Amino acid sequence: MEPTDRDVASFEAGIKLGAVYHQFIGTPVRPDTTESLEAAMEAAMCAQPACQSATVRIDPDTVEADVNRFGYTGLAGDHLEIEVTIVHEGITVHAELLEVDSYPLMRLVSIDR
């Protein structure tokens, strides 16, 4: 059975979220560098095929709470909220990544034709 366009679009959403999560977790960050890191993560996701848009939010308050004695912390899942929109062959998939019970939950939000 061949994957449908819906399958391909959904798979692409999952790949984008998983890749950006595992690529950037541990990146040094301070509250005053969250915006530039958000922009870099969004650009990395949108450089890939089928990605129409990506929004990354890093909570500077959560980052601040984790800052070590050297003035920074490593980016962690509980710092992040990510949304991505994938378009493939007329199918639009919206997906997100949220930290739920200390787990990076990646889920489909909606699929539209």
Can you tell me the distance from the alpha carbon of 70 to that of 6, in angstroms, rounded to the nearest whole number? 47
Residue 37 near residue 20, CB atoms below 8 Å: no
Give pLDDT tens digits for 55-76.
999 999 999 999 999 999 999 9
Domain with 90, as residue range(s), is 5-112
Two tokens, residue 46:
């949108």
Q: Is 26 left (phi over 0), alpha (psi -120 to 50) or beta?
A: left
Confidence (pLDDT) at 16: 95
- What's the CATH code of the domain at 21? 3.30.1300.20
What pLDDT band is residue 85 in, cutting at 50, 70 and 90? Answer: very high
pTM of the model: 0.93
What pLDDT band is residue 106 in, cutting at 50, 70 and 90? Answer: very high
Domain count, the chain: 1
Give pLDDT tens digits for 19-52.
999 999 999 999 999 999 999 999 999 999 999 9
Confidence (pLDDT) at 54: 98
